[in-house]
Structure 1
Amino acid sequence: MQGIKVENSKLKGIVKVPPSKSMAHRAIICAALGGGVSIVENIDYSDDINATIDGMVALGAYIEKDGDRLTITGAFNKDNKRNAVRTIDCNESGSTLRFLVPVSLLFDGMTKFVGRGNLGKRPLDTYYNIFKNQGISYSTVEGKLSLKIKGILSSGEFTLPGNISSQFITGLLFTLPLLEGDSKIIISTELESKGYIDLTLSCMRDFGISIENNDYREFIIKGNQRYVSRNYRVEGDYSQGAFYLCAGALGSEVEIKDLRLDSLQGDKEVIEILERMGAKFNCGANLSCKTQNELVSTLIDGSQCPDIIPVISLVAALSKGRTEIINAGRLRIKECDRLRAIVTELNKLGAKIEEKEEGLVIHGVQELEGGVEVWSWKDHRIAMTLAIAATRCKKPIIIKDYDCVAKSYPRFFEDYKMLGGAIYEWSMGE
């Protein structure tokens, strides 16, 4: 088991956050569903993004890496070849899995999806119901991800509840415009994570696909459309920038490059939440956050920004009063049960957090004690949250399984050290 010792030290300096993982997934898929050649720039080769790249290659795209640039020849290019039977290894990427399941049904042959970690526990019933309705052949293995699919998706009406992962809706949005007939996606309840749907529609529009959005209640999709090849640059990632913005709210001085204030990313909500808690932002050439007075509690709705909840919980744990986080139940089926992980690990450090079925109740303390071993739960966002927590611990902490940050931000600890973070390799034994 790998460990890292992190001592109390404030972070200071300028950092370029990785490109948006959400937008990179989408841009790679849109480019790879074309028939021509696209250039997608500002790519960070995290485990999740590599899974999507490899997945689209398995489906017939040709993708060449050159530094942070991808040259993508779309899967519908007449010269491209694909195997009649192919395997897509999603690793631990829920986005890769849920985006590419319907996409794979654009092509003849059989596709097998495999993965590891908690991915096999993530529900896919939404797709299974579609398979049954359309007579698409599939088989699964209980308890792990081993999904085989064979068939071609047909256009039509698809009714989905709004409280499922938006990844299902995005997967269908990618696919349906390429079918011969027109389609409609009907959302039967209030749609959560609208921001992620906005990202999908924006990226598809950039690649020439038009979809009518009727107030997130239904999506009207004309068939026989084609993705248009183009050059595209991926913007910086607010879900990663949130760690440094929260560090700023907790006393560090970090300027963050490459975050767009006009971004459609749902995780940009970190700015509004921190402002409610008393933080101030400098929106010059780079974005930074600081707190002049003590932070205060607030009510936080996690439905539209689940990925920033771990680090926002840390800020709440060091804010005056009682903070409640609601509508965050989906965090239980991420890379780990993030609600339980937050409570378990931050309470070890001296926080006072209560676990609820759909959220958390947090009673603020002035400082964290530290001086203990904590565990990442092999979840990248938990590992990074604990590293930011160390900047407010009286004593050093040891983070076990810290290398899971490779899932989304492989150089996180390099950047952390560059900003003045005091970190040391630590032998955990067997």
Structure 2
Amino acid sequence: MKSVIIQPSNLNGKVKIPPSKSLSHRAVIAAGLSDGECTIDNISMSEDIIATCEIMKKLGVKINQFPNILKILGKGKPQLIDDKTASNIIASNELQCNESGSTLRFLIPIAMLTGAKVIFKGKSKLVQRTLKPYYEIFDKQNIKYTTINGNLPLTIDGSLKPGIFELRGDVSSQFITGLIYALPLLNGDSIIKITTKMESIGYIDLTIDVLKKFGVKVENNNYREFKIKGNQHFVNRDFRVEGDFSQAAFYLAAGVLGGDVECIDLNMESLQGDRVIVDIIKDMGGRISMDNGILKASKSDLKGTIIDASQCPDLVPIVAVLAALSDGTTEIINAGRVRIKESDRLKAMTTELNKIGAEVIEREDSLLIHGKPWLKGGVVSSWNDHRIAMAMAIASIRCIEELKIEDSGAVKKSYPQFYEDFKSLGGKVNERTMG
């Protein structure tokens, strides 16, 4: 287990924001479903993206990796390959998602296009993350599947059929994305009906936009239903992944907490829902400016506010840090879904921030945070959650004493070079290996 010890210091300078993980997953899958070669540019091989690539390879897609680039040769439809090198331990139909929820939920419907028996596996908390929306579809379509009390491994023996699919919109948009990728390749038309208020709309917008770029049409009826024609084809094309606003959020927060940080390679016209971090910080009194496509965040006096997390759940950890260091009280509301991420993020942020002197009250689906000018520092845990680790690293800026983050290597899941970028801005990080 790795840990880092961070000495409090302001961050200053320019940082190139890593490519969007959400768009990277979507681009790799769309390219793999196309019939021809695609070049995916500006891609970071985080653990989650590696998991998606490895499963796409098992589904017959050829992927060649170069620095920051993937060359992907798809075959139009996935086909489970007979891996002659597979051992008895790792069967050729065993699809290992590691800890990536996007990989698991996106690729279940796509793997079912093969018509073969497949086994989805995962690690850590992913084993227990809900797949109930898919199980309900399997039951309705008489598709054979087995689980261990609803948890991974999941064995599926059957093909997805076109039809009407009813899904809740307040569990995870990942289920909807998975279906939107697979249904156009079936031999009939389908409709996805949303039975509750739609949350994480930005992620659905990303999915539909990527599919449009790869030649697949989805009719969006105000997020209440999605009409999808069958017998469509993904068209091969080149794609550049834009910078990730959910990762930029950490360095924009660093700027307003102390220093001047410029974030490079962000698309201010992006459909990413987490682009709202700019508005959140401004609403809290943060100074953010844009010049020639570069977002600059400067030290500011922040004030408490009310933040609705229903459309931006991944921002909750870093927003909680900002709230803990603002003047007044902040409420982060409609955040219940973040309990079923890599960790229970409401409990995790409450626990770890309070350890270092914050005043955070955990509620069922919200956080109530009374801000303070400084935190004391100490020892915190990442809960094996990349966003908790990065959020706590940013909290160190306004600690009086050093901050030790245990299990700090969790950042590899989405942002492997996070601590290197942190240090490049003047952060004082000492990495250690424990145990």
Is the TM value for this pair above 0.5?
yes
Identity of aligned residues (%): 50
1:47 match: 47
Match of 2:114, SS? Answer: coil
User: CA offset at residue 108 of structure 1?
Assistant: 2.2
2:403 aligned with 1:397, yes or no? yes
Matching residue's letter, 2:302: L
The CA RMSD over aligned residues, in Å, is 1.4
Distance 2:77 2:361 in 1: 54
How far does residue 373 in structure 1 lie from its aligned partner after superposition?
1.0
Residues 278 and 291 in structure 1, CA contact (< 8 A), matched pair in contact too = no
Compute the displacement of 1:144 (Å): 4.6
| Alignment-derived partner of residue 171 in structure 2 | 164
Q: 1:373 aligns with which of 371, 374, 379?
A: 379
Q: Could you tell me which residue of structure 1 aligns to residue 88 of structure 2?
A: none
Q: Following TM superposition, by how much is the alpha carbon of 1:2 offset from its aligned partner in structure 2, in angstroms?
A: 2.0
Deviation at 1:291, TM superposition (A): 4.1
Instruction: State how many pairs are aligned.
Output: 426
CA contact (8 A) 1:59 1:75 kept: no
CA distance in 2 between counterparts of 1:160 and 1:284 reads 42
Deviation per CA, 1:176-222, whole angstroms, max 9, x where unpaired? Answer: 01111111001111100000000000000000001110100011111
User: Deviation digits for residues 344-387 of structure 1, max 9, x if unmatched?
Assistant: 111111110000010100001111111x1111111111111111
Partner of 1:245: 252
Equivalent residue number for residue 287 of structure 1: 295
Where 2:400 maps in the other structure, the secondary structure is strand
For structure 1, which runs of at least 5 residues remain unmatched after alignment?
A: none
Q: 2:30, 2:211 within 8 Å by CA — same for their partners in 1?
A: yes
Of the candidates 386, 396, 418, which is equivalent to residue 424 of structure 2?
418
- Amino acid of the residue matched to residue 82 of structure 2? N
Of the three residues 388, 391, 395, the one matched with 1:382 is 388
SS at match of 1:43: coil
Instruction: Give deviations 1:140-180, integer Å, cap 9, x for gaps.
Output: 12375201112111101001111120000000000101111
Q: What's the CA shift string for 1:98-125, capped at 9, x where partnerless?
A: 0000111111211111110100111111
4+ residue segments displaced more than 2 Å: 75-78, 425-428
Q: Deviations over 1:303-361 (max 9, x none)?
A: 11111110111001111111111111111111111111101111111110000010100
Q: Which deviations, in whole Å up to 9, do the C-alpha atoms of 1:369-407 show, x marking residues without a partner?
A: 11x111111111111111101110011111111011000
Task: Give the Cα–Cα distance (whole angstroms) in 2 for the partners of residues 39 and 398 of structure 1.
Answer: 40
Check conservation: 1:211, 1:222, Cα contact below 8 A.
yes
Which residue of the partner structure matches residue 36 of structure 1? 36
Match of 1:273 in 2: 280
- The AA in structure 1 aligned to 2:156 is I
Q: What residue is the counterpart of 1:22 in the other structure?
A: 22
Contact map agreement 2:77 2:113 (CA 8 A) in 1:
no
Match 1:140 to one of 136, 139, 147: 147
Secondary structure (helix, strand or coil) at the match of 2:317 reads helix
Deviation at 1:46, TM superposition (A): 0.3
1:425 CA displacement: 2.5
Task: Report the CA distance shift for 1:119/1:12 in structure 2 as closer, same or farther (over 3 A).
Answer: same
CA positional deviation for 1:252: 2.4
